[in-house]
Structure 1
Amino acid sequence: MTKLEPISAEEAVELYLQSAEGEKAASTVQSHEYRLQHFIRWCDKEGRDNLNELSGRDLQAYRVWRRKDGNLTTVSLRGQLATIRAFLKFCERIDGVPHRLHEKVELPDAGDGEHRDTIMEAKRAEKILEHLSQFKYASREHALFLLLWRTGIRVGAARGIDVKDVHRQRDRVELIHRPETDTPLKNAKHGERYVTLTSHTSKVLADYIDNSRHSVTDDYERQPLFTTAHGRPTISTLRRTVYRVTQPCFLGECPHDREPEECDAEGYKGGATCPSSIRPHDIRRGAITHFLLNDVPEQVVSDRMNVSKEILDKHYDKRTEEQKAEQRRGFLNNL
């Protein structure tokens, strides 16, 4: 049996990152560094000075602690634990932890049942938008993802927008129920409304219309905002766009340690099968939570997102009770 050499979490992480710099993309290394800082923090809290003594039971304790500490979704936790697994595999090679310890890191299943609790987190959304703005500015991907995140509208509503529904001068889009021409709104006439935009979002949409949009009409001679070369895209096409831009490999990283050329989930066709991709409705859920966390009144969110307060509270508001309490404190401190 190989004799282990004592090593602290901080020293092991430093060696792992140095090794990864020559093997992985810079963005991946940065992501792993961020995730492993939480592991170092846990080791300090638990008094784990030597990784030689790490066990499967310790890894389970870390998993439980990290989920609660970060209030993580299943998909986020899976990404965090995948990094821990890769890190421990490296530690095995340098005789820092017991042989095959990495196999005791169980990754949570990110199947359809788990997806119901997932949301697009604000930091992740902004990272995707930064990438799109730099490398695919005013593309359909950029315009669609930006609109969904900044407004929280449903992907079906986005599909039904026509060019004339984008009011550039007033920084807003108009959502209209048009079932007779294949673009109904979920709540029919009750879903019709104006949705205001920031000046930045309005400009991106305008630049997309002027430079990237295919100059086509749909089967009803309408001019859709979002297009393919053949007309108005199906909802499935727009969903695939969302799946693709939310895949970590779209940003040049993979928390699942897969090689893009060997991964069945990579790209537009396989995006839905990636454990870390996000559904359009998860963007809506995340956007609503983000608005609420930034103290936008619930009634305003309810009206803007076209969702009743009861449904908002039950299915969309993913704030923790602690977050709600701290927000209430901000309103009550001066009373």
Structure 2
Amino acid sequence: MEYLQIEKNASPFTIQYYMDDLDNFFTFLQQENISCLQDVDHRVIRLYLTRLYERKLGRRSVSRKISSLKSFYRFLERNNQVTVNPFIHVGLPKAAKPIPGFLYMEELEKLFEVNDLADPIGQRNQALIEILYATGIRVSECRGIRLPDIDFTIGTMFIKGKGNKERYIPFGRFAEDALETYINDGREKLLDKAKSSNNYVFLNARGGPLTARGIRMVLNKIVEKAALTVHVHPHKLRHTFATHMLNEGADLRTVQELLGHENLSSTQIYTHVTKDRLRHVYMNSHPRAED
């Protein structure tokens, strides 16, 4: 656990998953009367995988358990507890990658039109939804934004993401206008209700920092006001940001950096093409598509 916390800088959730996976594996070893970690070989691993599939676990769950055990045995090797990593050649089951849901511009426009910009809460909600779409940041990243993180002179914000990884993200004029209106007016009025001052950008109705759960509730209310029939969650705005960027010609590496993805494969799920984009490219590219 110390290795995961200090050297790997893993989140509490990741550490808990690792511990659960190891507990599960140790229980299996106990049931099979295997008392030494050195005795784990390809036959033991094959039996373990069989037990996992008998429990009807999905491919993603099995992949995570294998990854946890690979990492665990790497740690044991490094500390001279074992001489070989029996999981090193175990392949991960390929998980199906569903196309992420996203919003079309017509649906987005409805979300941008429902907030009362004369009201502090309405100003906050407008700034919130503009920033989520303009930057593609995660809810956890959004709730952590502080006033010094925003640089209006060059239109960027400093974001601390997963594993304390840091990046700068630009934002456009619509997000800038919404943010300035909220920070200079609505936020000040919300902060007046608080017992103590804070420099978080997004505040709740009592002037305290808005939580991740609070952001989801805000978005649900905006969707309800816009009378949209589609389910919209904050991560769908992240999906929408990435999809729209790629459909408009942004390169994959740039989108990867903006999203804060460590691996390019995480960004590649957004390379699906919308029907509108498909038709646009076809009509402009095929010699006999139009006059």
Q: Given the two structures, how large is their TM-score scaled by the length of structure 1?
A: 0.48
Shift in CA distance, 203/321, structure 1 to aligned 2, threshold 3 Å: closer
Question: Given that residues 123 and 186 in structure 2 are in contact (C-alpha distance below 8 angstroms), is that contact kept between their aligned partners in structure 1?
Answer: yes
1:184-232 C-alpha deviation (Å, 9 max, x unpaired): x32x233x11111113321221110111112279999741000111411
- The corresponding residue for 1:156 is 140
1:120/1:287 contact within 8 Å kept: no
Structure 1 runs not aligned, ≥5 long: 1-114, 177-184, 256-275
Q: Match of 1:125?
A: 108
Alignment check: 8 A CA contact 1:218 1:232 kept: no
Residue equivalent to 1:241: 218
Give 1:4-23 correspondences, 5 Å limit.
none
Partner residue in 2 for 1:281:
235
1:254 and 1:239, CA in 2 relative to 1: closer, same or farther beyond 3 A? closer
- TM-score, structure 2 normalization: 0.54
Matches within 5 A, 1:214-253: 214-215=190-191, 222-228=198-204, 229-247=206-224, 250-251=225-226, 253=227
Specify which of 306, 310, 316 is matched with residue 265 of structure 2.
310
Per-residue CA distance 1:87-127 (angstroms, 9 max, x = gap)? xxxxxxxxxxxxxxxxxxxxxxxxxxxx9853222221122
In structure 1, how many angstroms separate the alpha carbons of the residues matched to 2:169 and 2:181?
A: 19
Instruction: Give the letter for the 1:311 counterpart.
Output: S
Number of residues of Structure 1 aligned to a counterpart in Structure 2:
185
Give the AA of the match of 1:154: R
Question: CA 1:328–1:219 in structure 2 vs 1: closer, same or farther (change >3 Å)?
Answer: farther
Q: CA offset at residue 310 of structure 1?
A: 0.6
Equivalent pair of 2:169/2:258 in contact (CA under 8 Å): yes
- 1:167 alignment partner in structure 2: 151
Which of residues 161, 174, 185 is equivalent to 1:211? Answer: 185
5+ residue gaps in structure 2? 1-97
- 2:43 matched residue in structure 1: none
- The one-letter code matched in structure 1 to 2:217 is R
1:241 and 1:286 map into 2 onto residues whose CA distance is: 18
Select which of 189, 193, 196 maps to 2:164.
189
Q: What is the distance in 2 between the residues matched to 1:141 and 1:321?
A: 30
Q: CA deviation at 1:233?
A: 1.6
Larger radius of gyration between Structure 1 and Structure 2: 2
Quote the Cα distance in structure 2 between the aligned partners of 1:283 and 1:303. 17
- Show the counterpart of 1:143: 127
Contact 1:122 1:290 in 2 (8 A): no
Partner amino acid, structure 2, of 1:189 = N
Shift of 1:136: 6.1
How far off its partner does 1:329 sit?
9.6
